[in-house]
Chain A
Amino acid sequence: MRSCFRWGGFTLLIIGFMGSAALAGEPTQAIEKTTDKIIGIVTDPALKEPDKSEEKAERIRKAVDERFNWEEMSKRTLARHWQDRTDAQKKRFMELFAKLLEETYLDKVEGYSGEKVLYEGEQVDGSYAVVAVKIVTQKETEIPVKYKLKKEGNEWRVYDISITGVSLINNYRKQFNSIITRSSYENLMEKLKGKVEKEQ
Chain B
Amino acid sequence: MSIQQRYVGFILGCFLGGLVLCHGTYAAQGPAWHQDAEALTHEGYAHELSRHRYTNTEQKMSGSVGAPVMLCQVAEPVGMEEDSEMWGDEGASIPDPLEPLNRVFFQFNDKLYFWVLKPVSQGYAQVVPEPARVSIRNFFSNLVMPIRAVSCLLQGKIEGMGIEVLRFAVNTTAGFAGFQDVARQHLDLPLQDEDLGQAFAFWGIGPGFYIDLPFLGPSSLRGAVGWAGQLYLNPLDYMVKDVWANIGVRGYDVVNKSSLRIGEYESFKRAALDPYVALRDAYYQYRIHQIEK
Contacts and interface: CB of A to CB of B under 8 A. Distances in A.
Interface stretch (A47-55, A58-66, A166-174): A166-174
Contacts of B288: 165
Nearest to B270: A107
Given A80-B86, A139-B134, A174-B93, A182 B50 contact: yes
Contacts of B277: 174-175, 178
B272 A182 contact: no
B47 interface: yes
Contacts of B90: 170, 173
Contacts of A123: none
A166 B282 contact: yes
A173 B278 CA distance: 9
A104 interface: yes
B267 A108 contact: yes
A187 B290 CA distance: 35
A187 B273 contact: no
A94 to B, nearest CB: 16
Contacts of A39: none
Interface stretch (A8-16, A30-38, A191-199): A191-199
B50 A171 contact: no
Interface in A97-144: 100, 103-104, 107-108, 111, 138-140
Nearest to A140: B134
Given A139-B260, A140-B181, A183-B47, A178 B134 contact: no
Q: Which of B50, B286, B290 has the most CB of A within 10 A?
A: B50
B91 A79 contact: yes
A43 to B, nearest CB: 19
B158 interface: no
Interface size classification for chain A: 35 or more
Contact of A176 (B40, B79, B93, B273): B273
Interface string A65-102: 00000000000000110000000000000000000100
Contacts of B270: 103-104, 107, 199
Contacts of A191: 54, 273
A89 to B, nearest CB: 16
B278 A174 contact: yes
Interface in A177-194: 177-179, 181-184, 186-188, 191-192
A20 interface: no
B51 A187 contact: yes
Given A183-B46, A183-B50, A184-B46, A111 B80 contact: no
How would you classify the secondary structure of chain A's contact residues: helix, strand, loop or mixed?
helix
Contacts of B281: 166, 170-171, 174-175
Contact of B273 (A80, A138, A184, A195): A195
A198 B49 CA distance: 23
Interface in A145-173: 164-167, 170-173
A79 B273 contact: no
A121 B267 CA distance: 28
B274 interface: yes
Contacts of B53: 182-183
Nearest to A191: B273
Contacts of B173: none
A92 B274 CA distance: 20
Contacts of A184: 43, 46-47, 50
Nearest to A192: B273
Q: Sort A-B residue pairs by CB-CB distance and give the 9 closest, nearest first.
A: A165-B289, A183-B50, A187-B50, A104-B271, A174-B281, A166-B285, A184-B46, A181-B79, A175-B274
Interface of A: 79-80, 100, 103-104, 107-108, 111, 138-140, 164-167, 170-179, 181-184, 186-188, 191-192, 195, 199
27 contacts: A79-B87, A79-B91, A80-B83, A80-B86, A107-B270, A138-B130, A139-B130, A165-B285, A165-B288, A165-B289, A166-B285, A171-B281, A171-B282, A172-B273, A174-B93, A175-B273, A175-B278, A177-B80, A178-B79, A182-B50, A182-B53, A183-B47, A183-B53, A183-B54, A184-B43, A186-B50, A187-B47
Given A183-B50, A188-B273, 11 more contacts: A79-B91, A165-B288, A165-B290, A173-B90, A174-B278, A175-B281, A178-B80, A183-B46, A183-B49, A187-B54, A191-B273
